[in-house]
Structures are given as C-alpha cells and as structure tokens.
Amino acid sequence: MYDFNDHGAAASPAGGSGPHRGLLLLELPRWTVEYGASRLVDLLHAASGPALPGERDLGRGRPVLVLPGFSANDRLTGRLRGHLVRRGWEVHGWNLGSNHGLTETIVTGLPRRLTEVADRYDEPVSVVGWSFGGLLARWLAHEHPDRVRQVVCLGSPWRAEGERTRATGLFEKSREKHGIVADAREIVDRLRGPVPVPLTAVWSKSDGIVPWRGCTVDQQDGGAGRAPAENVEVVSSHVGMVANPLVLSVVVDRLRQDPAHWQPFAWSRVVPGLGGVAGLGGVAGAAS
C-alpha cells in the first residue's frame, strides 16, 4: 500500500516493514510448487472426469471478474481463471494491463470493466481480487453494490495496520512513475468501510509479502441486514494465492454460495479430512 503517512518506506528497496525476510525469499520457490500442484490437480480432473455429478457446471455460467495484484497483470491470474472456467464460470480478466495502483487509468477503467461484464450477463458479478486487487474489489463493491454479487480477497492487506508491507517501496516508485489520482486517500478510506456484499478474506500466516493480520476481517454473520463476511486461513505463499490448490478450492466453494442463503466456509465440506488440521481450520471470523 502507499505510504500515505510518509514513514519513509520508499527509501527501502524492500518496501518498509512486512513478514520475515526468510518468507520473502521463499516466495518464488513456493509459488513454483503451488503452481505445479494446481496444474496437476486440473490435469487429473480432466483425465478422470468430474469427481461429483455436475462438477463441471458448478459455476452455472455466472460471471466472475478477476483483478490482479500490484505490478501483476491478467497473465499472472491465468491459473486461477482457467481453474474456474473448467468448473462452469464465465471468467474475465480486467483488461487494464499491469496493476500500477490508483492511477487514472485504473480508477476510471475498472468501474467501466465491471459495468461491461455485468451488462453482458444482466446480473451482478463476483469479483475476486488478489493482493491489491482485493482492495480494488472492495472499492468496486462500495461504489457499485448493485453490480457486485460477492467479493473474494486473496492476501489483501486492507487494514490501516497492514498498510506498510514488503511492497510499499514499489508503490511509492510507481506513484512517481505512473502517477496517482488526487482522491487516492479518500478511495482507500472508503474501501476500508464495511463491505455491503458478502465478503471472504483468504489469508496465510506464511505470506512473505504482506502482514497477514492486515488481511483478516472481523466476523459478520449476515444478521441484522448486514452482508456476511468471513476469514479463511490457508497455507500459501503470497504470489501463490492465485495458483495454490487449497486457495482455488476455497474460491470455488465461496463462488458457489447464494448470497441470499449464505453458508459459512468449512474445510470438511471442501477437502474431507482436512477440517481439523492445524492451520487449515481457518474460518476465523470476518467483517469487512
């Protein structure tokens, strides 16, 4: 996130504070394993046919918009999007190139992209955002709650206490090179408010880029007219959030939910036998 309070994070190539450096150094090798594992899962799935009747139609043709993380683009979310397509969703990239943060191009182009997808299917769109893309997904839900079905954030440090990460220096360099909209701070303040649609925050204590506590949300069960919100803890790298088989399983399960009849996440339903494993019981409570 940007260093709005001028902590001087831009002076550090690593970008200020964040997880232990050892986790940062392990991000690339872990991503390689996670990507390969999810590819193997899909190859086996394709070779053996659906494990459950109708599994290829889980998405029922509903639209999904996937937003990349900071400095990433649609190519880097291809593993996630392909996984969802194989299970019946109509999945779309954001078509805005690399994510350079709160630039004029993104702030004006992203709502147009959401409207385009929603109008094409004549229904609200589920938005999945990776890292900073998750913050943008929250912002879209605030700005256009009638067009957003639900939001799934993958390793997205939306809290103020998670503002400075291993990538903060990169945000500041991007601000110098690509610019930033005049109301950027107002946008961030708005997206930090309670999200008006169902929200799932997926996070990992072994994230090597962002502090995991900044990615969690406060529990909200959907009562009293409020939208449900929840946390799901996974074992994943930060870069691997869009390829890790466990994360992909969570996304599929959450996108299947009917916002009007929301069911809390349960590992026992997604991966039988894993519900009691330490670190995977993570339906920690949620609030947007």
What is the pLDDT, as a whole number, of residue 28? 80
Tokens 């256009």 correspond to: 144
- For 53, other C-beta atoms within 10 Å of its C-beta total 7
More confident residue, 2 or 77: 77
Is the pLDDT score of 50 beyond 70? no
Mean pLDDT, the chain, rounded, equals 84
Residues 6+ apart with CB under 8 A from 84: 59, 64, 91, 251, 252, 255
Say what the pLDDT of residue 241 is.
Answer: 94
Q: Is 133 exposed, middle or buried (0-12, 13-18, 19+ CB in 10 A)?
A: buried
55's tokens: 């599994």
Residue 165 in this model has a pLDDT that exceeds 70: no
d(CA 61, CA 128): 16
Q: Can you tell me the mean pLDDT for 93-118?
A: 96
The domain limits of the chain are 9-270
Amino acid at 117: V
Q: Which amino acid is at 90?
A: E
Angle at 78 between CA 123 and CA 87, to 5 degrees: 55
Does the pLDDT of residue 3 top 90, yes or no? no
Question: Above 70 in pLDDT, residue 282?
Answer: no
Strand order in the sheet with 125-130: 90-92, 63-67, 125-130, 148-154, 199-203, 229-233
- Give residue 72's pLDDT band: very low, low, confident or very high (50, 70, 90): very high
How many CA atoms are closer than 13 Å to the CA of 36, on its beta-carbon side?
6
Q: Does 261 have pLDDT greater than 50?
A: yes
**Contact assessment for residue 288 and residue 220, using Cβ atoms and an 8 Å cutoff:** yes
> For position 220, what pLDDT does the model report?
85
Residue type, 58: L
- In this predicted structure, the answer to whether residue 146 has a pLDDT above a threshold of 90 is yes
CA distance 192 to 18: 20
Any idea which of 126-130, 184-188, 207-211 has the lowest mean pLDDT? 207-211
Burial class (CB in 10 A: 0-12, 13-18, 19+), 20: exposed
Q: Where are the alpha helices (DSSP H) in 59-196?
A: 78-85, 104-121, 132-143, 168-178, 184-191
pLDDT of residue 287: 43
CATH class of 9-270: alpha beta
Find how far residue 110's CA is from the centre of its chain: 15
Which pLDDT score, from 0 to 100, does residue 200 have?
98
At residue 145, the pLDDT reads 97
When pLDDT is cut at 50, 70 and 90, the band that residue 92 belongs to is very high
